[in-house]
Amino acid sequence: MLEGKTYLITGIADEHSLAMYTAREIIKNGGKVVCTGLGVSKHHSDLSDKAKAFLNQNYEDFKQSVQKELGDSHTAILDVTIDANIESFAQELADKNIKLDGFLHAIAMDKTIRKKEVKPLIDVTLQEFCDTMDVSAYSLISVTRHLIEKNVLQKGASICSLSYIAAAKVTFHPYRNISIAKAALERITVELADELGRKHQMRCNAVRFSPFMGSKAGNATLRPEDVETSNRMSPLGNARPEDLAFEIVHLFRPESRITGEIRHVDGGYHITG
């Protein structure tokens, strides 16, 4: 189905990342992947020793899991908060003549959730608000722009991002700050679908997925009872990461005319929750 196609997969932290499930499914369907992980790039400056150690460990885990799960797929460092890093990454792909048929945005960060405790929205600072927006929403625009400017993202490409029902509703697990960023991510998806569809025949969709504790982000934020609650409330039970990967590959199919959709892969939670 994806024979001869190449997709950028962002947001792999390790083999349990939702993005990794998608990368595996792309390869299973005959496609190729380019993977990016968070690490120390030449554009980082003034990092504390602690931050440097964290980023180095993150990149090591990323590289090892890509090697183990995806063989010799192309890997690169990408920190979406640094515009110069996004630009040089896009330039690197252009220099290597790597053309992309789409990409998965699977990036989110919210420092107002700590040890599964969510800071009340009323206490969220402007800096915390903007940092979460930057990483989790605006990055969809900036990564897309640089890939188009360097002529890496091809006409007809398909872009997909990962969202959550909390973008629209207060749920059993109120996420507050990140929910607002997810709402922005979804709105960006719709606006880009219109702009890029008309200009480049590109598609842009988002998928709201069930709570999943297997990944680092999921494990840091969710409690087992949250996952049980949504499992009980979903007619089909919680969707699995494999279900998500299957749907993303469907949205990546070159012949599809689906765009501007906010899809649910959540076992039907959205009709009851």
Ligand X SMILES: NC(=O)c1ccc[n+]([C@@H]2O[C@H](COP(=O)([O-])OP(=O)(O)OC[C@H]3O[C@@H](n4cnc5c(N)ncnc54)[C@H](O)[C@@H]3O)[C@@H](O)[C@H]2O)c1
Based on the shown chain and the rule CB under 6 A, indicate whether residue 216 belongs to the binding site for ligand X. Answer: yes
Q: Is the dihedral of CA 148, 153, 159, 162 positive or negative?
A: negative
Token pair, residue 148, equals 């188009």
Based on the shown chain and the rule CB under 6 A, indicate whether residue 142 belongs to the binding site for ligand X. Answer: no
Q: Quick one: which of 217, 233, 248, 265 contacts ligand X (CB under 6 A)? A: 217
Based on the shown chain and the rule CB under 6 A, indicate whether residue 212 belongs to the binding site for ligand X. Answer: yes
For ligand X, give the closer residue by CB, 115 or 198: 115
Based on the shown chain and the rule CB under 6 A, indicate whether residue 157 belongs to the binding site for ligand X. Answer: no
Q: Quick one: which of 6, 17, 177, 205 contacts ligand X (CB under 6 A)? A: 17
Stretch that binds ligand X, among 13-21, 44-52, 111-119, 167-175 (CB under 6 A): 13-21
Based on the shown chain and the rule CB under 6 A, indicate whether residue 2 belongs to the binding site for ligand X. Answer: no
Based on the shown chain and the rule CB under 6 A, indicate whether residue 13 belongs to the binding site for ligand X. Answer: yes
Based on the shown chain and the rule CB under 6 A, indicate whether residue 80 belongs to the binding site for ligand X. Answer: yes
- Indicate the SS3 state at residue 153: strand
Q: Quick one: which of 66, 88, 148, 218 contacts ligand X (CB under 6 A)? A: 218
Tell me the CB-side half-sphere exposure of residue 50, using CA atoms within 13 A: 0
Q: Is the dihedral of CA 232, 210, 167, 252 positive or negative?
A: negative
Residue 211 forms beta bridges with which residues? none
The closest alpha carbon to 210, from 263, 258, 139, belongs to: 263
The closest alpha carbon to 270, from 223, 236, 241, 244, belongs to: 236
Q: CB of 226 within 8 A of CB of 211?
A: yes
Measured from the CB of residue 91, what is the shortest distance to ligand X in angstroms?
Answer: 17
Q: Quick one: which of 9, 23, 34, 78 contacts ligand X (CB under 6 A)? A: 78
Q: 248's torsion region: left (phi>0), alpha (psi -120 to 50) or beta? A: alpha
Number of H helices, E strands in the chain: 10, 9
For ligand X, give the closer residue by CB, 18 or 152: 18
Binding positions for ligand X, rule: CB under 6 A = 11-13, 17-19, 38, 58, 78-81, 106-109, 135, 162, 164, 209, 211-212, 215-218
